[in-house]
Amino acid sequence: MALAARRTLRGAGTLCAQGMLQSVLHRSCHHVLRRSLAQALGAATTMAPSVQFSPAPRSLFDEPLAITVHGLCPQQEVTLRLSLQDEGGELFQSCALYQAESSGELELTRSPALPGGSFSGLDPMGLLWSLQPQNPFRRLVKRDVQSPFCLELEVFEGHGPLPSRLLARGAHERSFLREGVRRIPVREGRIRATLFLPPDLGFDYPLQEPSVSEAFSKDGAKGCQLRVKGPGIGLLGISKGGDLCISMASFLKGITATVTINGSVANVGAVLRYKDITIPPLGVNPKRIKFDKSGIADIVDVLNNPLEGPDRQSFIPLEKAEGHFLFIVGKDDHNWKSEFLATEASNRLQAHGKEKPEIVCYPGAGHYIEPPFSPMCSASMHLLVGSPVIWGGEPKAHSVAQVDAWQQIQAFFHKHLNGKQGVTTKLGDPRL
């Protein structure tokens, strides 16, 4: 009995010990599983894809923007889509196909866009300059420079149709006024203008706000300019604004530097009157309009030759100008023959013993050469024609032209307004 009891107790003790061991092992495994799961969830949380902009959260409109996506799987295929809505509610979008690096990071300064999106190749700013309107014949124009454009970047899984599974989203602002710049509306008689006064950068004269009458009197304009930059005035015009700038430089005093972007040296569109001078508009022949397969008008041959017949009266007498000229030319401009017009302006200046102007031509660039990284407008409504017209240009070449032209323009103004020879400007440079 005693032996049996001891055996029973020993057996019971063995069973009890085994049960306790199993219970401990169960709890230990459960703890390990919970810890592993927590670690996995923590890793998933820390490795969730995210978008980083530099500089953040805002940059100037002409400043390069670095975009990086963190937390992707090694070599993961993703699609990036950039969206921008203008003040009128028009949506512009672009997309690009990418593959993450082995580290799971995607940095657009190192990773090329793959074929199949809005652009391909290594171009960190490609998503901006390849933006296109969702509705045809719309041009991206900033109406109110006091507010920024808001960019939204979405990262989607894979290279299939969008939208697929959204992995990450980021936002960034592109501003048009540097901090401290003052914007002053000008309303005097028929004048409608805006005066932008930069913050004090150490000018020779104290920065003062001129009265409207002072700013637009002959002596007051000069005085206003003296307070800001120097003794001369610079003009910049694009398209029709180009021939207006040439006219101002030809008839007004104090204009020392004039830049035209795909402008005309002949008066276009309407009669120009200054004192007792009248310049008729260059003649046009609507029969020379061509149409592409989509029915979009090509008006490059519509204008008459300003060197022939009565149209010679429309040629602006730019030989009367006292300042310097820079002509920015898109060689694929389909609004008019910008290269021909710039060349004839140069010929006329030199024939009258004037300085040969600077002419910078860009192959593959169209009519609207705008600030860096602006999307190219290939076609939009033309108010005078009353229908959509082709503006010309190849997107990548046009983008390259815009970056270089912006630097050429700033260097030109620094040289002739500030007297600084050989100034090299960087994108986003606040000095001008």
- The SS3 assignment for 271 reads coil
Domain ends where: 175, 201, 222?
175
Residues 169 and 187 in one domain: no
Residue 375 belongs to a domain with what CATH number? Answer: 3.40.50.1820
189, 236: one domain:
no
Residue 348 lies in a domain: yes
- pLDDT, tens only, 35-78: 444 444 444 445 799 999 999 899 999 999 999 999 999 999 99
Catalytic positions, written as ranges: 239, 333, 367
Q: What tokens does 109 get?
A: 């300064």
Is 37 contained in some domain? no
Torsion of CA 71, 73, 74, 76, to 10 degrees: -110
The verdict on residue 391 lying in a domain is: yes
CATH code assigned at 86 = 2.60.40.2240
Same domain, 263 and 200: no
- Any domain includes 28: no
Alpha-helical regions (H) of 174-253: 212-215, 218-228, 240-251
Residue 25 placed within a domain: no
303 in the same domain as 384? yes
Number of helices (H), then strands (E), in the chain: 7, 21
User: pLDDT of 216-274, one tens digit each?
Assistant: 334 434 333 333 455 689 999 999 999 999 999 999 999 999 999 999 999 999 999 99
Q: Are residues 376 and 301 in the same domain?
A: yes
Whether 246 and 152 map to the same domain: the answer is no
Picking from 157, 175, 193, the residue at the C-terminal end of a domain is 175
Same domain as 396, residue 274: yes
Count structural domains, the chain. 3
**Residue 147 token pair:** 């507010």
Report d(CA 288, CA 39) in Å as an integer: 73
3-state secondary structure of 169: strand
pLDDT tens digits in sequence order for the chain, 432 residues long: 333 433 433 444 433 334 433 443 344 434 433 444 444 444 444 579 999 999 989 999 999 999 999 999 999 999 999 999 999 999 999 999 999 999 999 999 999 999 999 999 999 999 999 999 999 999 999 999 999 999 999 999 999 999 899 999 999 999 999 989 989 998 988 888 888 888 865 444 333 444 433 433 344 343 333 334 556 899 999 999 999 999 999 999 999 999 999 999 999 999 999 999 999 999 999 999 999 999 999 999 999 999 999 999 999 999 999 999 999 999 999 999 999 999 999 999 999 999 999 999 999 999 999 999 999 999 999 988 889 999 999 999 999 999 999 999 999 999 999 876 655 555 655 444
pLDDT at 167: 98
On whether both 245 and 345 belong to a single domain, the answer is yes
Distant-in-sequence, close-in-space partners of 32: CB < 8 Å, separation ≥ 6 = none
pLDDT of res. 421: 64
Q: Which domain holds residue 218?
A: 178-231
Q: Is 84 inside any structural domain?
A: yes
Considering the domain architecture, whether residues 214 and 141 belong to the same structural domain is answered as no
One domain for residues 280 and 407:
yes
Does a structural domain hold residue 63?
yes
Q: Is residue 324 part of a domain?
A: yes
- Based on the domain organization, do 207 and 277 belong to the same domain? no
AA letter at 118: S
* In a shared domain, residues 365 and 352: yes
- Domain boundary among the residues 134, 151, 175 is at 175
